[in-house]
A and B are shown apart, each in its own frame.
Chain A
Amino acid sequence: MLILATLARGSAHGYALAEALRATSGGEFDVPEGSLYPALHRLERSGAVASEWVHDGRRRRVYAITADGATQLARETRAWRRFADGVASTLAAGAVRPAVGQGV
């Protein structure tokens, strides 16, 4: 989902994608960069992204999100927001109650 979300902002090659993921997540997603490629290849096989070789001084494979990928991103984003809202609500409810076993 994060890869699709990053590609939704514009096509990118693997290194640029890794940098963008790191930058937009404030450094939270500092995963081994090599793990991006298996994920990108799986997304391409599923039709969520397309890619082509580009020569700009160095030969790079540039990835772009497809219409199917955009649909998948929208669906996964909705699911994630529902999940995150549920977690946030649960945590918020817990925060206002005194912990069990603690005296008042």
Chain B
Amino acid sequence: MSDAIDRYVAGLADRLGAGRDTWRLLAETDAHLRDAQAALQAQGMAADAAADSAVERFGDPAVVAKAPSPRRRALGLFSGAWLVVALGLVVIGVSGLVSWALEAFLGPAFLAGDVNGVTYTAARCADFLGFFPGAGSCAAAAAMHHSEEIVSERLAAGVLGLLLLLVWLLVRSIRGAVPIARDDRRLLLIASAVAYLGVGMVGFGSGVLSVLLDLARGLAVAGVGVRLSDGAIALVAGVVAVVLVVRFARRGVPARPAA
């Protein structure tokens, strides 16, 4: 059965986030509250009332949760920001995989072909055809060149993200997790959600709009794959971030000491 002490410790845990020091503070808090409860019960108080009173005397969880020094909080924020950047790069890498698939199934022109009306100088065309002699046309060679850049750059970003994630996990396993303050976790989650949803809506929206305009004008759909890919993956990441924000907000309601 969950009593006031359990709820208090859970609320404190949520404020502090995961970390070696957090675990210690939670263990100490639980022991302290149980001692206080036992002492009050020894004075004749009922168990529930004693737990409520012990929690009240312990004080606002916000006071205890502010235990980390400013330096440690900054370290936690840095660690969280590192993780966000690493995951962001991994998301870009996933978009690279999707772009790769689009290129394979729908062709380079769909992924990264130039919009209708774009032309190149003869010298630039010669460059493209030099890269892809079998392309058959300047536009096709340009699309293959752009596709290659799009896929390779995104996959490189994904690999970099995985490396950053590996470093983060390595440091975490050696030095222990650095707690991220509740306000900082909220900031990182909301910033991630806004960034992903913004990129997703602009990318996916403009991609869909381009498809509709091309179809309406009876033109071949070209150069929209990258926007659809980036946008769709960013939207998925954005939805995940929004779910995390909502879960954070729901779980994050701290236990209130009973009056």
Residues of A within 8 A of B (CB): 13-16, 18-19, 31-35, 37-38, 41-42, 45, 58-61
Within the complex, what minimum Cβ distance (angstroms) separates B69 from chain A?
Answer: 7
Chain A residues within an 8 Å CB radius of B27: 59, 61
B58 touches A58 (CB 8 A): no
- Could you tell me if A37 and B66 are in contact, using CB atoms closer than 8 angstroms? no
B interface vs A, CB < 8 Å?
Answer: 21, 24-25, 27-29, 31-32, 34-36, 39, 57-61, 63-64, 66-67, 69
Q: Which secondary structure dominates chain B's binding surface?
A: helix
A37 touches B36 (CB 8 A): no
Please tell me if the beta carbons of B59 and A35 are within 8 angstroms of each other in the complex. Answer: yes
Q: List 26 A-B contacts (CB under 8 A).
A: A13-B28, A13-B32, A14-B31, A15-B35, A15-B36, A16-B35, A18-B32, A19-B39, A32-B57, A32-B58, A32-B59, A32-B63, A33-B32, A34-B61, A37-B25, A37-B28, A37-B29, A37-B64, A38-B63, A38-B64, A38-B67, A42-B69, A58-B34, A59-B27, A61-B24, A61-B31
Give the dominant DSSP class at A's interface: helix
**Chain A residue with the shortest CB-CB distance to B25:** A37
Given the known interface contacts A32-B59, A34-B58, A61-B27, the answer about A41 and B32 at a Cβ–Cβ threshold of 8 Å is: no
B60 touches A61 (CB 8 A): no
Query: Considering the chains assembled together, what is the distance between the CA atoms of A35 and B57 in angstroms?
Result: 10
A18 proximity list for chain B (CB < 8 A): 32
Complex contacts, B35 vs chain A, CB 8 Å: 13, 15-16, 58, 60
Q: How many A-B residue pairs have CB under 8 A?
A: 63
* Contact with B31, one of A15, A31, A34 (Cβ below 8 angstroms): A15
Q: Is the CB of B31 within 8 A of A33?
A: no
Q: Do B36 and A35 touch across chains, with their CB atoms under 8 A apart? A: no
Considering only CB atoms, which chain B residue lies closest to A38 in the complex? B67
How many Å from the CB of A29 to the closest CB on chain B?
13
Q: How far is the CA of A19 from the CA of B36 in the complex (A)?
A: 9
Residues of B within 8 A of A61 (CB): 24, 27-28, 31
A22 to B, closest residue via Cβ: B57
* Residue from A15, A16, A32 with most neighbouring chain B CB atoms (10 Å): A15
B39 CB contacts on chain A under 8 angstroms: 19
B25 touches which of A19, A41, A60 (Cβ 8 Å): A41
Residues of chain A contacted by B64 (CB below 8 angstroms): 34-35, 37-38
- A30 to chain B: closest residue by CB: B57
Residue of A nearest to B67 (CB): A38
Q: Decide yes or no: A41 and B57 within 8 Å by CB, A13-B31, A60-B31 being known contacts.
A: no
> Which chain B residues lie closer than 8 Å to A60 at the CB level?
28, 31, 35
Contacts of A15 in B (CB 8 A): 31-32, 35-36
Distance in Å: Cβ of B94 to nearest Cβ of chain A = 41
Q: How far is the CA of A13 from the CA of B35 in the complex (A)?
A: 10
Q: How far is the CB of A101 from chain B (nearest CB, A)?
A: 44
**Do B31 and A32 touch across chains, with their CB atoms under 8 A apart?**
no
